[in-house]
Chains A and B, each alone.
Chain A
Amino acid sequence: MKQPLSLSTLAAWAFALIWALPLLYALWAAFHPSAYATHFDPTSPLTLHNFVRAWEAAPFARYFLNTIMLVLGIMAAQFVICTLAAFGLARWKFYGADLLFALILIQLMVTPDVLILENYRTLQEMNLIDTLTGVGIPYVASAFGIFLLRQAFKTIPKELDDAARMEGASTLQTIWRVYLPLARPIYVAYGLVSVSYHWNNFLWPLIVTNSVETRPLTVGLQVFASVDQGVDWSVICAAALMTSAPLMIAFLVFQRAFIQSFLRAGIR
């Protein structure tokens, strides 16, 4: 049974409306001709022209490709590297394991964006400036990922591990056959969080990239919006919505999975 309309419900709706206002405003501007961007005339015609103009005015197709390669590359590398480290830390009491884990956790506080200066100089020495590898590499060994997977692996019964070993499976085979399938929900959660983080990441790619071939969407959008477009807000709003669209649509479709994932990943 739903409650009757109460003051609290009305307040919630008012709040939700305020919260949605900037986005609704952007949607209005993006889907109407520029002349109507700040005129709220319900009879004004709908158009996709702003999206077409944005798409043609900057190499967004290339930016999309860069971002997709970047987020998938980072995710794959994180999965491999964090799984290996997390497994050892979860299952074996090896010499220095506790100290090692403490050192790893430092990265939760001292995140790569605080160290932009030194990391940029390191990339210079490695000749990785203006490459996608350079954009991704500081994030690949993620303390957060190691922590999350270690927690997940600890809950897996040791008997399953022993059974696989009895059959002669090596460590890597055991991880592959026993741990990966059982920790699947955690990988999904971590994957979603990682993809949305790096889809939205801005400062580091802004510093490291300086060509169309490597620029991800966020940097491309900023370059596009700050090169004076004669300030055509309709086109800028269209571009902003376009760059967020894949993630937004994925979110709308898999709302539950997203929220679950953020929760799983957030409880640390």
Chain B
Amino acid sequence: MKARRNGKLNIHVQGWLLALPAIVLLATFTHIPAIKTIIDSLFATPRGTKPPPFVGLVQYQSMIADPIFWRALENNLLYALITVPLAIGFALAMALWVNGRIRGRAAVRLAFFTPTILPMVAAANIWLFFYTQDYGLLNQIGRALGFASVNWLGSPSTALPALMAVTVWKEAGFFMIFFLAALQQVPPDLYEAARMENAGRWQVFRRITWPLVMPTTLFVGINALINAFRVVDQVIAMTGGGPDNATTLLLFYIYQVAFSFWDIGYAAAISTVLLVCLAAVALAQFFLVDRKVHYR
């Protein structure tokens, strides 16, 4: 009896001991920094060795008055609003094509999926060349069709959409594989039944495919949304936030304020906003998705 109880106690100690390295590292690099970010946003940026004075919500007041912050937030929301549905739509279309019995399926799948494997920085440099004014491929094609040459990354109206294209190009193939897996789970007799009823293609998609891949769509959507708030590589590699802050996104602005201007208090305040955005996504997932997805 006593030995048994010892063994049980042992489990509690052993469980914590096994998790200890992970707990220490996670606390050091996730939980404590997340809390410190919020605390630091209430202080001025430290100058010299003196501890910085407490300033309350002053950082947030200057944030509200900072047009670049609003620009970054607006750009980021636009980025999410446009790239997430586009990437999902393309991914689903790709999956439907690759899942069907078309000729050259392997090659088509390869073309869709390969961008996913590339490092974003490499992809960004390739697209820089693709977008080059005058002699880049995009402008060459445009000129052949009779359009004037466009400075895609140099003008404020096209720079952000140009970056979005790179994101969609890279993400769609990745999301495709999740839809492919979902499509392969659809019982074939459902399609069989639809054929007996002489259902049209669109009807089959609306009534069978779309509802059955819904959980995947939500899963992919949440991931795409989180990614949209963490976009930064292509901004650094392609535009540096320009022209005129047209491509400044939240994480890029944090990077700039923290590591170019060394304004730590202000960077902490913007980081807090980003944390709040991510928390909102997490809550949405918890309340919306988890309820809808688990009808299986």
Q: Does A163 contact B (CB under 8 A)?
A: no
From A101-109, A154-162, A180-188, give the one contacting chain B. A101-109
Contact between chains at B125 and A221 (CB < 8 Å): yes
Stretch among B112-120, B151-159, B204-212 lining the A interface:
B112-120
Query: Out of B24, B33, B177, B236, which one reaches A118, CB within 8 Å?
Result: B33
- Does the CB pair A115–B18 fall under 8 Å? no
* Interface: A133 (CB within 8 A): no
Interface residue B148 (Cβ < 8 Å from any Cβ of A) = no
Asked if A263 and B18 sit within 8 Å, CB to CB, the answer is no
Chain A CB count within 10 A is highest, among B118, B128, B132, for: B118
Task: Give Cα A19 to B170, complex, Å.
Answer: 9
Q: Are B21 and A114 in contact (CB under 8 A)?
A: no
A119 is an interface residue with CB less than 8 A from chain B: yes
| Docked-complex contact B119 and A100, CB < 8 angstroms | no
Contact with B along A116-142 (1 / 0, CB 8 A): 111111100000000000000110110
Q: Could you mark each residue 217-237 of chain B with 1 if its beta carbon is under 8 Å from any beta carbon of chain A, else 0?
A: 001000000100010110011
Chain B's interface size range is 35 or more
A-side interface size class = 35 or more
Chain B's closest residue to A245 (CB) is B122
A3 to B177 Cα, complex, angstroms: 23
A104 touches B236 (CB 8 A): no
Query: Does A55 have its Cβ within 8 Å of any Cβ on chain B?
Result: no
Could you tell me the distance in whole angstroms from the C-beta of B130 to the nearest C-beta in chain A?
5
Chain B residues whose C-beta falls within 8 Å of the C-beta of A214 in the assembled complex: none
Q: Give B contacts to A, CB under 8 Å.
A: 11-12, 14-16, 18-19, 21-26, 28-34, 36-37, 40, 93-94, 97-98, 100-104, 107-108, 110-115, 117-123, 125-130, 132, 135-137, 140, 169, 173-174, 177-178, 181, 219, 226, 230, 232-233, 236-237, 251, 254-255, 258-259, 264, 267-268, 271, 274-275, 278-279, 281-282
Q: Which residues of A contact B (CB under 8 A)?
A: 1-3, 5-6, 8-9, 11-13, 15-17, 19-23, 25-26, 29, 38, 81-82, 84-85, 87-89, 92-97, 100, 103-104, 106-107, 109-122, 137-138, 140-141, 143, 146, 171, 196, 199-200, 202-203, 206-207, 217-218, 221-222, 225-226, 233, 236-237, 239-241, 243-244, 247-248, 251-252, 255, 258-259, 262-263, 266-267
The 3 closest A-B pairs by CB, nearest first: A94-B15, A118-B33, A141-B25
- 27 pairs of residues in contact across A and B, judged by CB atoms under 8 Å: A11-B97, A13-B104, A19-B111, A20-B114, A22-B123, A22-B127, A38-B135, A92-B11, A92-B15, A94-B14, A106-B34, A110-B30, A114-B275, A118-B36, A119-B33, A122-B28, A203-B255, A217-B119, A221-B119, A221-B122, A222-B237, A233-B129, A248-B114, A248-B118, A251-B114, A255-B110, A262-B174
